[in-house]
Amino acid sequence: MDDFTIQIVLADDHPAIISGLLHTLKKHRTVNVVGSAANSTELIAQLAAHRCDVLVSDYAMPGGDYGDGITLFSFLRRRYPETRIVVLTMIDNAGVIRALLKLGIECILSKADATDHLLAAVHGAYANGRYFSPTIAKVVWQIDIEQPATSARELTSREAEVVRLFVSGMSINEIAAHLKRSKQTISSQKNNAMRKLGIERDTDLIKYSIGASLAAPGTELPAEPPADA
């Protein structure tokens, strides 16, 4: 095997996707797939067993001990800082893409786009560069366009406070009582924060907040996140 061959681990909970990725990559002599995984538990085992230069991983991959999405990728960035990551996803939500970019993951492919982009993304990740398939590139372009308008997008201190308390397990009613504000005010501040972040679901807000370190002060986030985090 060529000393300069890029060692790759694949992770996706759909066997057909893994098979397709293998078929695409095996034609190229610059890469070598050393392992594959169907969930985060298997993925960590593969990373412990093999040298991995580039991980190609699905974003949504439930069922493992280390979670998925932002929770998993945050953990991987801490434990395996030298491993480059290419993310595969069906999600084109700006909040999720922004969270990945904040983690330093800058090679992202949409499953809706052709697999022709895979090799370029792997090479881009290995070189610590950027690569986005067309669907993701449109989202990133919009994020970049909006970036200068930080005053409109940044959370106010009160909005950030509400988000921190919410993702730490408090209900809207509990937050209202804790902060001595009305339930309507708390709900409005939470909704405003989600709108600014481009997030529509509470579960995505929780995952984004963990990845962005927005948990409430004093809250202990697990070093090895549970599967349903």
74 has pLDDT over 50: yes
pLDDT value at residue 201: 82
The answer as to whether 169 is a domain residue is yes
Minimum mean pLDDT range among 173-177, 180-184, 223-227: 223-227
1 has pLDDT over 70: no
Residues 24 and 134 in one domain: yes
Mean pLDDT across the chain, nearest whole number?
A: 84
3-class DSSP string for the chain: CCCCCEEEEEECCCHHHHHHHHHHHCCCCCEEEEEEECCHHHHHHHHHHCCCCEEEEECCCCCCCCCCHHHHHHHHHHHCCCCEEEEEECCCCHHHHHHHHHCCCCEEEECCCCCCHHHHHHHHHHCCCCEECHHHHHHHHHHHHHCCCHHHHCCCHHHHHHHHHHHCCCCHHHHHHHHCCCHHHHHHHHHHHHHHHCCCCHHHHHHHHHHCCCCCCCCCCCCCCCCCC
Residue 17's pLDDT band (cuts 50, 70, 90):
very high
175 has pLDDT over 80: yes
Q: Of 146, 167, 190, which marks where a domain is finished?
A: 146
Segment 77-125, tens digit of pLDDT: 999 999 999 999 998 888 889 889 989 999 999 999 999 899 999 999 9
Segment 119-174, tens digit of pLDDT: 999 999 999 888 999 999 988 887 765 554 443 457 788 888 898 888 878 899 99
The answer as to whether 173 is a domain residue is yes
Residues 161 and 142 in one domain: no
* Residue 101: partners with Cβ closer than 8 Å, 6 or more residues away: 140, 143
The answer as to whether 67 is a domain residue is yes
Residues 30 and 92 in one domain: yes
Residues 79 and 122 in one domain: yes
214 has pLDDT over 50: no
Q: Which structural domain range is residue 170 located in?
A: 157-211
Distance from C-alpha of 184 to C-alpha of 177, rounded to nearest angstrom:
12
Count of domains observed in the chain: 2
**Between these two residues, 95 and 21, which has the higher pLDDT value?**
21
Stretch 172-191: mean pLDDT, rounded? 93
Per cent of the chain over pLDDT 70 is: 84
18 has pLDDT over 70: yes
pLDDT value at residue 9: 98
189: CATH? 1.10.10.10
pLDDT value at residue 141: 81
115: CATH? 3.40.50.2300
pTM: 0.66
pLDDT value at residue 169: 84
pLDDT value at residue 193: 86
Q: Which of 104, 9, 1, 105 is nearest to 51 (CA)?
A: 9
pLDDT value at residue 77: 93
* Residue 81: partners with Cβ closer than 8 Å, 6 or more residues away: none
Residues 192 and 95 in one domain: no
